[in-house]
Chains A and B, each alone.
Chain A
Amino acid sequence: MPDLPKRKVGLISCSGEELAEGTVTRRAVRKVLETLRPGDTVTLCLPLFLAGGEGERAFARHYPTIAVDGCDKRCAALATKKYSAKPAASVVVTEVAEASGRGAIGTARRLNEEGLRLADAVAGRIAEETDRLLKRKPGSAGPASGRGAR
């Protein structure tokens, strides 16, 4: 096993194309990677993961992951468990939406304003889980840093 560098959290989103919630997962994960917790997170590509991507699966075996699913079919969480290891945390968009009483969020192709706000809320939840997994105090992000990964 090569050197394991700084501890990071892998984010794996379902990106489900049939539901708007799938698009929410995608936007939320990218927001965490690029803005909220850059340097602390890495995105794992679910299609590549499913197709046998060695980098994605190896990362998920050795680092904590957060599965971000659009609905309760939980494809990202199940795939991570099946091909690597059980995710350390799981966020489901429909649960976040229900808890906050949100209305229609647009389509899978184009989220409306409500959908964009939901994506931000989901991103916030992912960031909190990231802090918990990295054992940080709530609200204290790591040092400002650039993009985690492609």
Chain B
Amino acid sequence: MSAATLELAVDKFLFRFPADLFYSEAGVWVGFEGPRARIGLSDFVQQRNGDVAFAEPKEAGTRVRRGEETAVVETIKVNLSIASPVAGRVVEVNGDLPASPELVNQDPYGKGWLAVIEVEDEAAARAGLRTAEEYLALARAQAEAEVLR
């Protein structure tokens, strides 16, 4: 990771959030690449939900609205419906995931990306996302609430 990375330590767990990415409240990261957005699961989400056994993004060509399911991730603990953080059209999915779903856990911001979406309205997309600092605060609150439950 070339940019700075924010870190959150909770007990023995260390969660990382690259500062040059944006995040939905549900913990999907977004990296804008011109008119496109590469998405994946944040380190916080992947650590909380366990080892990924299957990661299945919608196929290329699928149109998604913001908040609409864009991938299904099945871990050993739960089945997650991943809501798209942006509106647009899926143009590429990570072809390594069928054989190596553990990439989502091992390298969530790199080789574990889920899909690339051609964004309909970049300004609107950015407005609906959080910065790394904002998402870290959310993650901290969630982590602390879980410990106290």
- Shortest 8 CB-CB distances between A and B: which pairs? A146-B149, A2-B9, A59-B12, A55-B12, A42-B11, A149-B11, A2-B7, A145-B148
Chain A interface residue count, CB cutoff 8 Å, equals: 19
Which has the most chain A C-beta neighbours within 10 Å: B144, B146, B147? B147
Known: A145-B149, A146-B148, A148-B147. A5 touches B10 (CB 8 A): yes
Known: A39-B147, A145-B148, A145-B149. A4 touches B9 (CB 8 A): yes
Q: Is the CB of A55 within 8 A of B10?
A: no
Residues of B within 8 A of A149 (CB): 11-13
User: How many residue pairs, one in A and one in B, have C-beta atoms under 8 Å apart?
Assistant: 41
CB distance from B130 to the nearest CB of A (A): 20
Of all chain B residues, the one with the shortest Cβ separation from A41 is: B11
- Chain B residues within 8 Å of A, Cβ to Cβ: 7-14, 144, 146-149
8 other A-B residue contacts (CB within 8 Å) besides A42-B12, A55-B14: A2-B7, A5-B9, A5-B11, A5-B144, A10-B12, A39-B148, A44-B12, A56-B12
Residues of A within 8 A of B8 (CB): 2
Residues of B within 8 A of A148 (CB): 11, 147
Of all chain A residues, the one with the shortest Cβ separation from B8 is: A2
Once bound together, how far apart are the Cα atoms of A54 and B9, in whole Å? 12
